[in-house]
A and B are shown apart, each in its own frame.
Chain A
């Protein structure tokens, strides 16, 4: 944007207007995110440090739908004065979505290097896995590549001690 002030590498002081970074998703949607929130993402932080954040940053690996939510997540986590309890509750609500979306979050968090979101989403998937039998896991995640009968027998035999 030619009208915006030259990007500064330091964090915005309270008296200045909040610096916004523009992000463009793979399907062409543009989103604005505060710099403080953008710093949650190491990828974006690097770009900001290197003064590349003047024009909208293209993110070819993230769709608009997911990017919107990710921006929401980062903004929430950059908010000052939110206590742990309510943040945790908010996080729980945030990942209360269908599985495919959680996986999309994981990929986005990995690409943008957002450790908090990555931790959160990986834990969610781990919770989905833990406690299920192999059949249940396969059905839940639609896992297609199964063992041949001989392999299955072998693996069961090798690990039967865990079920004693």
Chain B
């Protein structure tokens, strides 16, 4: 049976209890290769209890610094044992809306700092708590993310993996961090690894592994990742890395659109934005209700109502079946993607000589070698890391600006125009949904 800590501690017991707890926490932290190399001049917390040292601690405690914040109340947290404070801090970390929320806790007092850096708390940090900004990047931020990743936080593993792989160009450790997250069933990590496999990122084009990419995509898709579903759908339709199955591919594309729409409608802020989008756009393709006699009008309205959320500019049948689905507002970018976009924007919009960025702004991925990404076959002006980015960007932005241009033969082609890029070559669908290897 677990020992209970009651509330009836005398003052001196409480002091030494707290000191022991803080010492234990500090010792554990030091043993784990503590992150913050704080050299405390008054080494009150780091002496394990025992004999003369404990007596010394008690004397120091009584000579405490003057009370701040008014002599009235007692320190409420004094009454709570460490495991309950950890419980509270875990919840703070899990619901933090920015790194500042978590760090403010660490800055409050010694006890919060040592408990706040406990692996249990860090493992629960939400993705917002780990949303480092590119302009704030420094060794300390790197250490913090590493600490969280080591504590078992899959979001931290993924975010740090992406940063190391793409921004710091440390391919091996970045990929292994992402793999760690992927093993923890983190859907974005699985998808990112799939993109790396499809493109052979970090290596040559011979390092592409389409079947591995499809397998990773499939796992991410089954976890509900919309981009992965789209990617998988296209792979199935084209027989890319997997045996061709057009019907199955179609199914995945429809499912991706449906899921995307559902996500938008279920989130309150996004739903409001979507509702305003839908109400202001003109009715397209279906006949106007006013021109019809009453019972037909009712039928038409029913039909319209059914198709109301599914409107699509092309107007050819149910838009869920179109590759590019419904007009939903742009999904919110993951902090890792936002970091990459900011990072490369600060470095002149490119990852290096001749290396482009994915033209979908919510993605932020850079090429890791020349001509890694695929180009829009219609205009050739934009390029994408994956079919999913291309599909999303088409619907959000590119459709409006894509115009066919006269293109001369490329002299810097990657060299496998009729290899796996063959089935994409040249044929531009009505919605420009074909990419070719540039």
Interface set of A (CB-CB < 8 Å, partner B): 60-61, 99-100, 103-104, 106-107, 110-111, 118, 122-123, 125-126, 129-134, 137-139, 141-148, 150-152, 154-164
Compute how far the CA of A143 lies from the CA of B70 in the bound complex, rounded to whole angstroms. Answer: 10
Partner of B69, one of A139, A158, A159, A161: A139
**Given A122-B91, A142-B75, A154-B39; 14 other pairs, CB 8 A cutoff:** A99-B76, A100-B73, A106-B84, A107-B7, A107-B79, A122-B87, A126-B91, A130-B92, A134-B108, A146-B65, A160-B140, A161-B136, A162-B103, A163-B103
Question: B409 at interface (Cβ–Cβ under 8 A)?
Answer: no
Question: B401 at interface (Cβ–Cβ under 8 A)?
Answer: no
A3 → chain B, closest Cβ, in Å?
Answer: 31
**In the complex, per-residue mask of B36-64: 1 if CB is within 8 Å of any chain A CB, else 0:** 10111110000000000000000000001
The 3 closest A-B pairs by CB, nearest first: A164-B136, A162-B99, A126-B91
Show 6 residue pairs from A and B whose CB-CB distance is below 8 angstroms, ordered by the A residue: A134-B108, A141-B77, A143-B109, A145-B110, A155-B113, A163-B100
Compute how far the CA of A141 lies from the CA of B36 in the bound complex, rounded to whole angstroms. Answer: 25
Whether B67 pairs with A144 at a CB distance below 8 angstroms is yes
Compute how far the CA of A147 lies from the CA of B65 in the bound complex, rounded to whole angstroms. Answer: 10
B19 → chain A, closest Cβ, in Å?
Answer: 10
Question: B141 at interface (Cβ–Cβ under 8 A)?
Answer: yes
* Contact residues of B between 78 and 106, Cβ < 8 Å to A: 79-80, 84, 87-89, 91-92, 95-106
Partner of A100, one of B4, B76, B89, B144: B76
Which residues of chain B are within 8 angstroms of A139 by Cβ–Cβ distance? 69
Whether A126 pairs with B136 at a CB distance below 8 angstroms is no
B99 → chain A, closest Cβ, in Å?
Answer: 4
Compute how far the CA of A150 lies from the CA of B91 in the bound complex, rounded to whole angstroms. Answer: 29
In the complex, which residue of chain A has the Cβ closest to the Cβ of B132? Answer: A161
In the complex, which residue of chain B has the Cβ closest to the Cβ of A109? Answer: B84
Which residues of chain B are within 8 angstroms of A152 by Cβ–Cβ distance? 107
Partner of A129, one of B73, B88, B111: B88
Compute how far the CA of A146 lies from the CA of B7 in the bound complex, rounded to whole angstroms. Answer: 23
Whether A146 pairs with B137 at a CB distance below 8 angstroms is no
Which residues of chain A are within 8 angstroms of B113 by Cβ–Cβ distance? 155
State whether A155 and B107 are in contact (beta carbons under 8 Å apart), knowing that A130-B96, A141-B76, A141-B77 are contacts in the complex: yes
A84 → chain B, closest Cβ, in Å?
Answer: 17
Which residues of chain A are within 8 angstroms of B64 by Cβ–Cβ distance? 144-145
Partner of B141, one of A103, A110, A148, A161: A161
Partner of B91, one of A60, A107, A123, A138: A123
Interface size class of B (residues with CB under 8 A): 35 or more
Compute how far the CA of A103 lies from the CA of B78 in the bound complex, rounded to whole angstroms. Answer: 10
Whether A162 pairs with B102 at a CB distance below 8 angstroms is yes
A1 → chain B, closest Cβ, in Å?
Answer: 26
In the complex, which residue of chain A has the Cβ closest to the Cβ of B87? Answer: A122
Whether A164 pairs with B67 at a CB distance below 8 angstroms is no
Whether A103 pairs with B80 at a CB distance below 8 angstroms is yes
Whether A130 pairs with B106 at a CB distance below 8 angstroms is no
Whether B8 pairs with A137 at a CB distance below 8 angstroms is no
Question: B371 at interface (Cβ–Cβ under 8 A)?
Answer: no
Question: B291 at interface (Cβ–Cβ under 8 A)?
Answer: no
Which residues of chain B are within 8 angstroms of A160 by Cβ–Cβ distance? 136, 140
Whether A150 pairs with B41 at a CB distance below 8 angstroms is yes
Which residues of chain B are within 8 angstroms of A164 by Cβ–Cβ distance? 133, 135-136
Whether A138 pairs with B69 at a CB distance below 8 angstroms is yes
B4 → chain A, closest Cβ, in Å?
Answer: 6
Question: B430 at interface (Cβ–Cβ under 8 A)?
Answer: no
Whether A129 pairs with B105 at a CB distance below 8 angstroms is yes
Which residues of chain B are within 8 angstroms of A142 by Cβ–Cβ distance? 69-70, 72-76
Whether A147 pairs with B101 at a CB distance below 8 angstroms is no
Whether A125 pairs with B103 at a CB distance below 8 angstroms is no
Question: B31 at interface (Cβ–Cβ under 8 A)?
Answer: no
Whether B101 pairs with A131 at a CB distance below 8 angstroms is yes
Partner of B105, one of A111, A122, A137, A151: A137
Residue of B36, B88, B133 contacting most chain A CB atoms (<10 Å):
B88
Compute how far the CA of A133 lies from the CA of B102 in the bound complex, rounded to whole angstroms. Answer: 10
**In the complex, per-residue mask of B106-121: 1 if CB is within 8 Å of any chain A CB, else 0:** 1111111100000000
In the complex, which residue of chain B has the Cβ closest to the Cβ of A100? Answer: B76
Compute how far the CA of A61 lies from the CA of B79 in the bound complex, rounded to whole angstroms. Answer: 12
Whether B40 pairs with A151 at a CB distance below 8 angstroms is yes
Whether A132 pairs with B104 at a CB distance below 8 angstroms is yes
Partner of A122, one of B84, B106, B138: B84
Which residues of chain B are within 8 angstroms of A111 by Cβ–Cβ distance? 4, 6
Question: B68 at interface (Cβ–Cβ under 8 A)?
Answer: yes
Residue of B80, B84, B98 contacting most chain A CB atoms (<10 Å):
B84
Compute how far the CA of A43 lies from the CA of B316 in the bound complex, rounded to whole angstroms. Answer: 64
Compute how far the CA of A133 lies from the CA of B105 in the bound complex, rounded to whole angstroms. Answer: 8
Whether B75 pairs with A156 at a CB distance below 8 angstroms is no
Compute how far the CA of A146 lies from the CA of B242 in the bound complex, rounded to whole angstroms. Answer: 61
Whether B91 pairs with A158 at a CB distance below 8 angstroms is no
In the complex, which residue of chain A has the Cβ closest to the Cβ of B111? Answer: A145
Compute how far the CA of A19 lies from the CA of B137 in the bound complex, rounded to whole angstroms. Answer: 62
A65 → chain B, closest Cβ, in Å?
Answer: 13
Which residues of chain A are within 8 angstroms of B88 by Cβ–Cβ distance? 122, 125-126, 129
Which residues of chain A are within 8 angstroms of B65 by Cβ–Cβ distance? 146
